Amino acid sequence: MPVSVGRLDEVDLSLSLSKPESEERIAELQKRLLELRLISGGLIGEGRLGPPTCVLFEGWDASGKGGAIKRLVEPLDPRHVRVAEFAAPTPDAKRHHFLWRFWSALPGWGGFAVLDRTWYGRVLVERVEGLATREEWTRAYDEIVEHERALTEEGMVLVKFWMHISGKEQLKRFEARRDDPLKSWKLSDDDWKNRGRRKEYKAAAEEMFERTDSAHARWEIVPAESKHYARVHVLETVIEAIERGLERHGIATRATS
């Protein structure tokens, strides 16, 4: 569905923070996130397990998903957080419903998980690249909404990020990766090919926002032209979501001394 003006066009990509400003703020936010993670895990505070927290990352290639995820999990004990990355489905995964391969990565009560790429691949890359039939990807919108409804009604704190950058900034980051021997592995032929179909991916993303932004699972579009701003924004958003989740279940959001 072609979309000339949509949510992505309304994002203020001029928002920025300097590196010193972001590092100071990130240090404060990471300390708070660690406290909330320990409270949710029943390790401090009341000792009750908090609701599961699952953070989903989608966005343009080179939009800073990896850097944001790194800052998000950096202060946490590796035993208390799971990061799962999803690429193209394997032949075995294709034998199942498209949501099947994500279930094992989802957190239970007291748990915290971060998904780098998600079930939204069905209505993004699989749609644009013709890897799913039109019937499959059009049906997927309702399937995803009901899937997320079931998770959130069971208590899950579900945070959905789209990391947004301009085409100009994306090209700049692609070229920087290409020219850096230690980062060139991040750039593939598929990345360049996908960049050439940016208009199609934008249309797919806009329809995705329209059809899967629900009261129980809102999309948060992150202005990511400034990596420093984006990382702070992500941390702030996750912290606020966890606080609301704990409060809904009557769990204090501060550890008692």
Q: How confident is the model at residue 257 (pLDDT cuts 50, 70, 90)?
A: low
The pLDDT score that the predictor gives to residue 4 is: 57
Q: What is the mean pLDDT of the chain?
A: 95
In terms of pTM, does the model score above 0.85? yes
The pLDDT score that the predictor gives to residue 5 is: 74
Q: For the domain 7-89+100-164+193-248, what is the CATH code? A: 3.40.50.300
Dist. CA 219–CA 137, nearest whole Å: 19
What is the edge-to-edge ordering of all strands in the sheet holding 53-59? 82-85, 112-116, 53-59, 157-164, 219-223
For the stretch 148-166, pLDDT in tens is 999 999 999 999 999 999 9
In this model, does residue 3 exceed pLDDT 70?
no
In this model, does residue 1 exceed pLDDT 50?
no
Number of Cβ within 10 Å of residue 111's Cβ equals 20
Dist. CA 68–CA 234, nearest whole Å: 7
The pLDDT score that the predictor gives to residue 189 is: 87
Q: How many CA atoms lie within 13 A of 58 on its CB side?
A: 21
Report the Cα–Cα distance between both ends of the chain, in Å, rounded.
Answer: 55
In this model, does residue 234 exceed pLDDT 90?
yes
In this model, does residue 96 exceed pLDDT 70?
yes
The pLDDT score that the predictor gives to residue 118 is: 98
Break the chain into its structural domains and give their ranges. Answer: 7-89+100-164+193-248
For the stretch 211-221, pLDDT in tens is 999 999 999 99
Structure tokens, 121 = 């691949």
Q: How confident is the model at residue 256 (pLDDT cuts 50, 70, 90)?
A: confident
For the stretch 70-85, pLDDT in tens is 999 999 999 999 999 9
The pLDDT score that the predictor gives to residue 55 is: 98
Residues forming beta bridges with residue 83, ordered by sequence position = 114
Dist. CA 17–CA 14, nearest whole Å: 10
